[in-house]
Structure 1
Amino acid sequence: MTIYDVLKKLPYKKQLYIKYKFNIWMQNERNMTEEEFLKQVDLKGMGTYYRWERSPEYKHIVSIVLAAKQANDLLTIYENLKKKVESDPNPKDIEMMLKLMKEINLHNKEAEKFFASDKDENDKDDDLEL
């Protein structure tokens, strides 16, 4: 499950907030100011989003975003570690990488379970105040 699969399940304004917060726009990377974001979602302040950030839903989304970003880091670590192991094998480096991968997979599985469960129709409402 990718972050974009998860975003499809969220109300539009929450999708925009996640894209804004983590700068994960599909088109060219763009930096948006808070004022530009608020104008786009037609809100006066960020309070609604700050309250949402304390929810389990938001925390699971963050987990998926971090897992996606760490996947790129793991690729770099793997490539560097592979070169190091080929020239001077060190079991501690390999063990550390495996532990990190296990931890990421655990968090990602929890987030996938959260978004795979059938949610009530009420949860599909974006709960945002105008």
Structure 2
Amino acid sequence: MDNITIWDVLRSLTSRRKLYVKWRFDLWRAKDEVPADEQELIERMHVKSLLPYQEWERTDEFRHISSLVLQSNQGRDLEELYNKVKERALNEPNAKDIEIMLKLQKEIGEHYKDAQRYFKGEE
């Protein structure tokens, strides 16, 4: 079975939830018209407030969406960290930073697996 990406999940959401998730996690693509602020987002969503969406953030579905976003960002983050660790390794290496990063990477991986199971209907 293929892995589910954040873009797969976005396609399955209502247009309002999709817009909220893109705004919440800054997932805009080049062609997207980005709302300038929260008020413009509310106007584009044609809602009175974001309260129902903020409450939705406490659901399993949104938690799993967050995991997918973190996983998709992990590659870029790892590249940035690699470059910083490489630079420090040339000057003064810090084993504690590497250990923390490996633990964080493992944790993100576990959340990612949970999200995959959730969106594949296995949970």
TM-score by length of 1: 0.73
Q: CA deviation at 1:103?
A: 1.3
Task: Return the letter of the residue paired with 1:8.
Answer: R
1:4-53 residue CA offsets vs partner (Å, 9 max, x unmatched): 12211212211011011122111267343222112212111222212211
Unmatched segments (≥5 aa) in structure 1: 120-130
Determine the C-alpha separation between the residues in 1 that align with 2:93 and 2:54: 47
Q: 1:107 aligns with which of 104, 107, 111?
A: 111
Determine the C-alpha separation between the residues in 1 that align with 2:43 and 2:94: 53
Secondary structure in structure 2 of the residue aligned to 1:21 = helix
Q: Percent identity?
A: 39
Q: 2:17 aligns with which of 14, 22, 27?
A: 14
Secondary structure in structure 2 of the residue aligned to 1:54 = coil
Point out which structure has higher relative CO (alpha carbons under 8 A, 6+ apart). Answer: 1
Determine the C-alpha separation between the residues in 2 that align with 1:24 and 1:18: 8
Tell me what 2:84 maps to: 80
Tell me what 1:116 maps to: 120
Determine the C-alpha separation between the residues in 2 that align with 1:33 and 1:89: 41
State the aligned residue count: 119
Tell me what 1:127 maps to: none
Assess if the C-alpha contact under 8 Å between 1:53 and 1:59 holds in 2. yes
Q: 1:71 aligns with which of 67, 75, 99?
A: 75
Task: Return the letter of the residue paired with 2:13.
Answer: L
Tell me what 1:122 maps to: none
Q: CA deviation at 1:99?
A: 2.1
Tell which structure's C-alpha radius of gyration is larger: 1
Task: Name the CA shift for 1:88/1:33 in 2 (closer, same or farther; >3 Å).
Answer: closer
Unmatched segments (≥5 aa) in structure 2: none
Task: Name the CA shift for 1:47/1:100 in 2 (closer, same or farther; >3 Å).
Answer: closer
CA RMSD of aligned residues (A): 2.5
Determine the C-alpha separation between the residues in 2 that align with 1:8 and 1:38: 20
Task: Name the CA shift for 1:81/1:114 in 2 (closer, same or farther; >3 Å).
Answer: same
